[in-house]
Amino acid sequence: MSKLFRIDEQTCINCYACVRVCPVKAIEVKAGQNYARIVDNRCVGCGSCLNICPVNAISYKSSKKEVLELLKSDEPVVAICSPSISGEFVDITDYRKFVQMIKQLGFTYVCEVSFGVDLVAKEYKKLFEDFKGKYFITSMCPVVVSMVEKYHPELIQNLAPIISPVVATAMTVRKEYGANVKVVLIGPCIQSKEEIKLYDDERRIDENLTFVELRELFEEFNIKESNLEYSEFDEPIGYKGSLFPIGRGILQSVNISEDLLTGTVINTNGPNNTLHAMEQFETSIDTINRHFNLFYCEGCLMGPGTSRGGKKFIRRTMVVNYANKRLKTFDREKWNASILKHSNGNFSRSFTIDDQRLPTPNKQKLEEVLKAIDKEFVGHDSGCEACGYSSCHDFAAAVASGLAHTDMCLNYSLKKRQEYIKTLQSTNDKLAKTQEALRESEKKARVEQEAAREATETITTMLKKLPSAVVLIDKKLKIIQSNQSFIDLLGDDAIDINEIIPGLVGADLKTLLPYNMLTLFTNVLQNNTDILNRDLMYKDKLLNLSAFTIKPNSIVGAVIRDMYAPEVQKEEVIKRITEVIDKNLAMVQNIGFLLGEGASETEKMLNSIIKAYREGGNSSGKAK
């Protein structure tokens, strides 16, 4: 199937409305994909998604351009109009004005499909009356045909092998106006755009306009009823085929009995009724024992190619009123002649199986999906249908087949959302506490920053007022900070630089100090060994330098004093006299200590001699 419908990815809001309404689940929503996508091969062209979309993200293939090209050609072009046109254009007061409006677009002839309905209805009457034990599903609705071919292939032999009324009308107008005419169908059905591709002989329909597209052409070419005269439909004219849009109208047009006691045909329309009818025909036709006349829409009155917001029973009334109006002056004999003329055509058709049923996922995969959405214990046919599937098991099968994802389950999504909210609340609580701690930290940081600023200002002020030169350098011997005394010590060049770069910040010390002083800084940087009170000469000045590590191998500070400065000289003399006195006192104390130790030893020695002498004297006296 071609891309009959498409969903605009940018407009789609992923509300799943189209998924819920699609009768064959031909719309997929993959995980991580924020838009729905139509699977073209699975689509049956019913258009249910088109009008349900709340943001108009779904559109169908337009045929306006192709029709306008046909109208520009040299060949005559015939418009064949579905009988439901009277229900669509309730705003046009007289159908004859409507016919003229279509001709204004460039159509050569404007004919009714109702005559094709009359022809096809006769074929159905013969099929139903010549009963041979086989029950049929009518094949006039292209959506019903597509659904059987794709999703109920076992019923394909039960599709009535009769062409649709629009195809029968195409045969008729070619027989009336020549085989070379181009035929454009104007109707309420979008799937007809696919149906017309099946034929390439005298039954061919070249293009298909929906009623909405026809209105758009009227608007584009400014064609209005009030500006035009009357014009009748071209021959052949239909009879009761005008009732076709009402669904059971085709049965009434040839008096096929719908009697509940004796009738052989069950008539139903509408999406749900059609789906249930197919299922029960497939499983229980031996019990039902009836033919089925099915139309997917609520009659062709409400086809997806009609204007949005149409009211079914008003449209139905307009169709009936139109039919009654035509029948008052209807030429039955002329119609009979036309029917006789065109009844010998080939009205048969065949069908092609295009099985699009998905294989049943294995039991383990289904159980995994059901467990993931917390539905492993629900009944096989149970489900809220919010996801668009009739049961949780059908939804799980769609997830397993890649057509859906678990977030489409409302209960699962709500549960996840509640868990997410709890997690979010917990996170918010933690975040609030963190923010409070951060605010406290910021307060402390501001206090510390203010204290640091004040300390910096104090140190800077102190450095400026120190009489000694002070400098801080980094590992590249670049000045980080220096005071005015240091700048004055270096001389005029440094003073000039200071006017441009206050404090000589970033200046290279290698260009400002002699090698012998620079070596001291380098030594401290490399070895992290402080150098204290080193005297050296610089520009006829005796300087005293102390360099010390502030940050190992990274920052070094130095204090330099001019020894010739009066205040330094006085301080230094006092310091050095103090040092000399301290050294002399220490020496005297040491000598005293040594002398004290010597006297003590002498005393000990003398005492020992005296003692020995005394002991020797005593021994001599006793011997005498």
Which three-class secondary structure state does DSSP give residue 535? strand
Listed residue (618, 396, 437) closest to 445, CA to CA: 437
- How far apart CA 312 and CA 488 sit, in angstroms, is 104
Measured CA distances, 411 to 13, 238, 387, 546 (Å): 20, 54, 10, 80
- Whether the pLDDT of residue 499 is over 50: the answer is yes
The pLDDT of residue 393: 76
Most confident of 21-25, 77-81, 396-400: 77-81
Percent of the chain past pLDDT 90, that is, above it, reads 46
- Whether the pLDDT of residue 590 is over 80: the answer is no
The pLDDT of residue 579: 61
Confidence of residue 189 (pLDDT cuts 50, 70, 90): very high
CATH 3.30.450.20 applies to domain 467-564: yes
- Whether the pLDDT of residue 410 is over 80: the answer is no
- Mean pLDDT for the stretch of residues 99-111: 96
- Mean pLDDT for the stretch of residues 478-492: 85
**In the predicted model, what is the mean pLDDT of the chain?**
85
User: Tokens at residue 167, please?
Assistant: 């195809």
Contacts of 188 (CB under 8 A, 6+ apart): 82, 84, 88, 210, 211, 245, 297, 300, 301, 302, 303, 304, 305, 306
- How far apart CA 191 and CA 182 sit, in angstroms, is 20
Lowest mean pLDDT among 307-316, 520-529, 604-613: 604-613
- For residue 272, the tally of other CB atoms under 10 A from its CB is 9
Does the pTM of the predicted model rise above 0.85? no
- How far apart CA 472 and CA 556 sit, in angstroms, is 6
Domain ranges of the chain: 62-342, 467-564
